[in-house]
């Protein structure tokens, strides 16, 4: 009997899927990076009955506990219905990230789910083959199957979405020296609402400027040039449409730049904001300036996450059998 065939059906896994910074300013829907934290966790094990038994544990409001409305359950169902394993899965989503954070909350749930299901299969799929399932969680959450959060959360590192039809994701080799400061204010911006206000047409000169910044971003990430990356986070499309969704946005950005950030803008659709720093010491000063600005101008507390690029993405931990 093969090793795969002899696996115990009650084998269990714990999967952590990290948060992400999508867009990186000018790279709307095409660039994203994984960071170390926060993230979501899925615990899953095999059961003899076919199908999915799903539950949620969370302290956050508005997280759907009904499997019909939860992205983690949705993508798990898609995998089970297509792959039809000889067992079912008991899954618990430990939802640690708030919805509408701008840090890829729905993507982290979807990625943790598909990686957990895959780890329990007799013949797991290659990691990249899971992208097609994970993006369906984004479709359910926001109406658009964008991959700039799910790709880096799944694969780690910096991901460029070269094409959506067909889906083509390129992992960019980077010199991992840049420090990313992420400040999450206690506000909510729904991705669906933020996408709805995006402009549908752009003047050619605006598009050309944005393209130049995307090219500069990729070059700066590859070389570890924080100054170039910061300069190229300039976003002449989404930021103009979305800045007013985040109280204090302009003041926080100004505070970050004055504290030494090379660039600062929205993480994803917000309300989280990120800044680019050259060192951990600079990152600490920038984070303090940003949190103080949010407290002063928006009167909200914040969480701070400081990280280099997370090169690993989702991680699988096998739960020992009793």
Helix, strand, or coil (residue 81): helix
Burial of 126 (0-12, 13-18, 19+ CB in 10 A): exposed
> Distance between CA atoms of 33 and 18, rounded to whole angstroms?
10
Rounded Cα–Cα distance for residues 100 and 269 (Å): 8
Q: Has 138 been annotated as catalytic?
A: yes
The question of whether 291 is a catalytic residue gets the answer: no
In angstroms, rounded to a whole number, what is the distance separating the alpha carbons of residues 197 and 266? 15
Catalytic annotation, pick one of 20, 92, 191, 265? 191
φ and ψ of 166, to 5 deg: -80, 160
Helix (H, G, I), strand (E, B) or coil at 169: strand
Q: Quick one: which of 19, 40, 159, 167 has its CA closest to 95?
A: 40
Residues facing residue 52 across a β-bridge: 89
**Which residue among 138, 218, 265, 291 is the active-site one?**
138
The answer to whether 106 and 145 are in contact (CB under 8 A) is: no
> CA torsion 198→200→205→210, rounded to 10°?
40
Enumerate the active-site residues.
138, 191
């Amino acid at each position: 009997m093969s090793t795969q065939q002899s696996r115990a059906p009650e084998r269990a896994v714990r999967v952590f899927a990290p948060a992400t910074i999508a867009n990186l300013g000018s790279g709307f829907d095409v660039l994203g990076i994984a960071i170390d934290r926060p993230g979501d966790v899925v615990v899953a094990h095999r059961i003899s009955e076919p199908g999915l038994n799903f539950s949620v544990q969370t302290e956050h409001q508005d997280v759907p506990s009904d499997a019909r409305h939860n992205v983690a359950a949705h993508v798990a169902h898609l995998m089970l219905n297509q792959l039809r394993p000889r067992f079912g899965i008991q899954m618990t989503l430990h939802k640690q990230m708030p919805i509408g954070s701008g840090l890829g909350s729905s993507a982290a749930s979807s990625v943790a789910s598909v990686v957990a299901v895959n780890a329990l299969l007799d013949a797991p799929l290659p990691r990249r083959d899971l992208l097609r399932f994970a993006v369906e969680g984004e479709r359910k959450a926001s109406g658009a199957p964008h991959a700039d959060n799910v790709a880096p959360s799944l694969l780690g590192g910096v991901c460029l979405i070269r094409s959506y039809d067909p889906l083509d994701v390129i992992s960019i080799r980077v010199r991992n020296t840049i420090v990313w400061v992420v400040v999450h204010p206690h506000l909510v911006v729904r991705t669906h609402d933020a996408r709805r206000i995006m402009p549908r047409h752009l003047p050619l000169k605006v598009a050309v400027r944005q393209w130049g910044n995307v090219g500069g971003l990729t070059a700066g990430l590859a070389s570890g040039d924080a100054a170039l990356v910061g300069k190229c986070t300039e976003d002449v499309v989404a930021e103009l449409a979305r800045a007013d969704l985040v109280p204090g946005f302009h003041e926080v950005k100004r505070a970050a730049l004055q504290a030494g950030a090379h660039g600062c803008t929205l993480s994803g659709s917000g309300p989280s904001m990120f800044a680019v720093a050259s060192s951990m010491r600079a990152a600490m000063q920038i984070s303090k300036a940003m949190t103080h600005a949010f407290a002063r101008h928006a009167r909200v507390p914040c969480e701070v996450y400081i990280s280099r690029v997370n090169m690993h993405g989702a991680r699988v931990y096998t739960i020992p059998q009793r």
